[in-house]
Chain A
Amino acid sequence: MRMIRNALAAVAVCIAAAASAAPAGLYNLGDSAITVALTAQVITSGVSSQGVAQAFISKLEGSSAATIQANFTYGSGGTTLKVDIETSLDQGTTWVPICRFAFTTASAEKVANVSGMTPKIAAYTPVTLSDDVCVDGILGDRVRAKVTSTGTYAGNTSISVRAAVR
C-alpha cells in the first residue's frame, strides 16, 4: 500500500513539474503589412495573464532556446527592412537585441536559433546588431520584434515573425 502511495506521489510531482515548466510552443512575434518607412516599430502583440494586451510575448522564463523565423513577402517599392528580435532581463525596462534579420526588395525567409544555455563569460554590452547577426546565450522571460524600414513598400508587402520556444 505504501509503495502504491509513493508511486502516486511521484506521478503527482512529475505532473506538477510538467505543469510549471516553461511554456514550450510556437509564438507569434508579429505580423505586419509594410507600407511607409518605420523606425523601431514594435509589431509584437501579446497578452498578460490578466488578459491585458502587451507589446511582447512573456512568461518564457525557464525556456532554454528559441528558433526564430522572419518571413518577408515582397510586393513592390521600398528599400530596406530590418527585423530586430529583442529580449529583456529587467521586465521590459531595457531590451537587448539578440537577432537582426535584414531584407531588401525580394521575398525571403530567414531563420536563426538562439540558446540561453550558451555560456557567455565575457560581459556583453547590448548594441544594435549588424545585418543577419544573432547573439547567442542571452534569453530573458520575454521577447518582442521591432521593424525598421526605409522607402515606401507597396503591393501587399508584409513581414511575419515566429518563435518556436522550448
Chain B
Amino acid sequence: MSSDWWQTYRDLCRQPLTVKRYTGSGVNRPSFETAIRGNARQFSSAELLADIRQGDYQVILLMEDLIAQQFALPVTSADKIIVDGKEISVIMAKMRKDLDGNQVAYECQCRG
C-alpha cells in the first residue's frame, strides 16, 4: 500500500468513526464496536441518482484500521456505522483496491 492513491485515501480518512456489528436477533443481541478512521459526508444534491436518497451518507473506511483492529471482513449491509453519535445503516459497501491489488478502503452508502 504505497501508491499515491492509497495516500490520498489516508489523507482523506481522518474522522473518528465507529463500525458496529450486531449478531443474532432480539433486543439483547450482542454487538461489537470498532473505532477506526474514516470519512463521512452526506451526498450532494447532484449525486442523488438511482438508489441514493437525500440524507444518505457516503462513508469511507480505511482498510488498514479495520485490519489492525481485526474487524472480521467484509463490511456488509448488515453493519452499522456511528457518525457523530448517530447510528446509520450500511446500504452498500464497495471495496476499493490499489493498482497493485492491495485493499485500500471501503466506500459505503449509508442511511439512517
Contact = CB atoms under 8 A, between A and B. Distances in A.
Interface stretch (A6-14, A27-35, A87-95): A27-35
Contacts of B31: 31
- Chain B interface helix/strand/loop/mixed: loop
A47 interface: yes
Contacts of B21: 31
A130 interface: no
B101 to A, nearest CB: 10
Classify chain B's interface size.
Answer: 20 to 34
Contacts of A73: 28-30
Interface in B1-57: 21, 23-26, 28-32, 34
B25 A58 contact: no
A148 interface: no
A136 B63 CA distance: 34
A162 B33 CA distance: 11
Interface residues of A, number: 27
Interface in A1-54: 23, 25, 27-28, 31-33, 45-51, 53
Interface of A: 23, 25, 27-28, 31-33, 45-51, 53, 57-59, 71, 73, 75, 155-156, 158-160, 162
Interface of B: 21, 23-26, 28-32, 34, 63, 66-73, 103
